[in-house]
Amino acid sequence: MLWVNSILSYPLYSLFSLLVTGSSRGIGAAAVIRLAEHGADVVINYLSSEKQAEEVAEKCRSFGVRALVVQADVSKSADVVKLFDQIVEKFGQLDIVFSNAGIEHWGKPDEVDEAQIDKVC
């Protein structure tokens, strides 16, 4: 955690636009808010939590940065293309991607098949 806090203390983030996938809640939301706090223009990506994504964007905008909210399922290539097109249209470029989106499986390990493992990973 020391390394993360020290790298985030540099004002260089004000030069960048960043995408944090899965950033409408949890770790992704915390990361994107922290990056916005340090001056980065941010993209909040969500799958189904639009209201939460908009709340995260408002928090980010309160730091004086631009925040774009985009719904996209990053496991689908067409959605990823749409996501990147919207980012480039809004910000002109995308500098950093923080790949945070994912799913978890709460079943018993001996009940998980290979397709479910591939989807989680």
CATH architecture of 2-120: 3-Layer(aba) Sandwich (3.40)
Exposed e or buried b per residue across 46-57, where buried means at least 16 C-beta atoms within 10 angstroms of its C-beta: bbebeebbebbb
In tens, the pLDDT along 38-93 reads 899 999 999 999 999 999 999 999 999 999 999 999 888 999 999 999 999 999 99
Using the predicted structure, report yes or no on whether residue 101 has a pLDDT greater than 90. no
| pTM to 2 decimal places | 0.78
**How far apart, in whole angstroms, are the C-alpha atoms of residue 15 and residue 27?**
23
Single-letter code of the amino acid located at 42:
V
pLDDT band at 11, cuts 50/70/90?
low
Confidence at residue 31, expressed as pLDDT on a 0 to 100 scale: 94
Confidence at residue 117, expressed as pLDDT on a 0 to 100 scale: 64
